[in-house]
């Protein structure tokens, strides 16, 4: 709710489709999303739609019609979910629409997964340009996450409509933990000098690892090998328990070279078999 600080009445349009509320945005437990005319949301076009929410979710409120000197922004959470349910509200920005700028929302907190999980953010201009404005979009690590577009184009007609960038996590088959990366918004390209080379904030993201191997080295068997002084041999296997990110060399040696030698004396994966020879 955005209310007049003195009389506690709404200073913007309230939700379409819900009665007896001062809220400009209402999200029900089944993700039915109601909002007023000044609110724009990623992927939702009509008040009352069931939203497919990807965390985090950017909300833009047009305050152009607000004339009050002092207003209060309220957030209310009425939970009907599990006991430990929670909502995080951050990256609240107030933007002067008279000054040309390029705004990304949110600028942090995006989470993708190696299973192909997606996240999204929005980009919008704050003032009408004289000419088209192109904003380059790129991932700093395409092994972890890729974007659905490599640029956004704003025109003098659509400048005030937020454009959504979808980021999809990629799988690398490596136990590397959760990896941070960045979606960069490059300097804008435009014949409008007010927007040319304007550089919007980049967006930080994390790709969650889905590989659950525990790095280790297994030797099998670890006992029971029998050799003889006539030169008979015994063998054992050496194997990694998780894919390595670079070559792994395991050195092998005998504690008593008068009784037995080992060949080879080191293995670099993907070699798996060491041969123990009696001397």
Strand ranges for 102-232 from DSSP E? 102-105, 110-113, 118-125, 133-139, 145-147, 151-154, 163-169, 179-185, 189-190, 203-208, 217-220
Kindly give, in sequence order, each residue whose CB lies less than 8 Å from that of residue 122, ignoring residues fewer than 6 positions away: 42, 58, 60, 104, 105, 162, 163, 164, 165
- Tens digits of residue pLDDT in 79-119: 666 667 677 777 777 766 668 999 999 999 899 998 899 99
- Tens digits of residue pLDDT in 44-89: 888 988 887 666 677 888 887 787 778 888 787 776 666 676 777 7
User: What is the number of domains present in the chain?
Assistant: 3
Q: Which of 182, 212, 242 is the last residue of a domain?
A: 212
Q: Which of 188, 212, 236 is the last residue of a domain?
A: 212
For residue 131, the domain's CATH number is 2.60.40.10
Are 207 and 106 in a shared domain? Answer: yes
Q: Which of 89, 116, 132 is the last residue of a domain?
A: 89
Look at residue 219 in the predicted model and tell me its pLDDT. Answer: 86
Are 202 and 236 in a shared domain? Answer: no
In a domain, 271, yes or no: yes
In a domain, 49, yes or no: yes
In a domain, 76, yes or no: yes
Are 128 and 77 in a shared domain? Answer: no
pTM for the predicted model, two decimal places: 0.53
Are 162 and 260 in a shared domain? Answer: no
- Tens digits of residue pLDDT in 140-157: 999 999 999 999 999 999
Domain span at 117 = 100-212
């Amino acid at each position: 709710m955005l209310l007049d600080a003195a009389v506690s009445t709404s200073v913007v349009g309230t939700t379409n489709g819900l009665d007896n509320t001062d809220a400009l945005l209402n999200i029900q437990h089944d993700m039915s999303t109601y909002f007023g005319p000044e609110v724009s949301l990623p992927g939702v076009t009509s008040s009352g739609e069931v939203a497919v929410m990807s965390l985090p979710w950017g909300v833009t409120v047009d305050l152009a019609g607000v004339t009050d000197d002092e207003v209060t922004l309220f957030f209310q959470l009425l939970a009907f979910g599990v006991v430990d349910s929670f909502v995080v509200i951050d990256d609240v920005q107030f933007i002067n629409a008279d000054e040309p700028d390029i705004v990304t929302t949110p600028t942090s907190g995006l989470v993708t997964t190696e299973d192909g999980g997606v996240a999204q953010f929005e980009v919008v201009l704050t003032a009408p340009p004289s000419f088209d404005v192109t904003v380059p979009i790129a991932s700093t690590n395409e092994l972890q996450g890729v974007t659905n577009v490599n640029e956004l184009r704003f025109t003098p007609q659509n400048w005030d409509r937020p454009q959504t960038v979808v980021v999809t996590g990629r799988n690398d088959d490596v136990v590397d933990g959760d990896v941070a990366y960045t979606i960069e918004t490059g300097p804008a390209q435009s014949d409008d000098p007010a927007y040319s080379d304007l550089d919007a904030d980049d967006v930080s993201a994390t790709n969650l690892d889905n590989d659950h191997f525990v790095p280790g080295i297994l030797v099998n068997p670890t006992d029971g090998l029998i050799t003889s002084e006539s030169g008979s041999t015994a063998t054992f296997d050496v194997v990694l328990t998780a894919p390595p990110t670079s070559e792994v060399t395991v050195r092998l040696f005998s504690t008593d070279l008068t009784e037995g030698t080992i060949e080879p004396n080191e293995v670099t994966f993907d070699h798996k078999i060491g041969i123990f020879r009696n001397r």
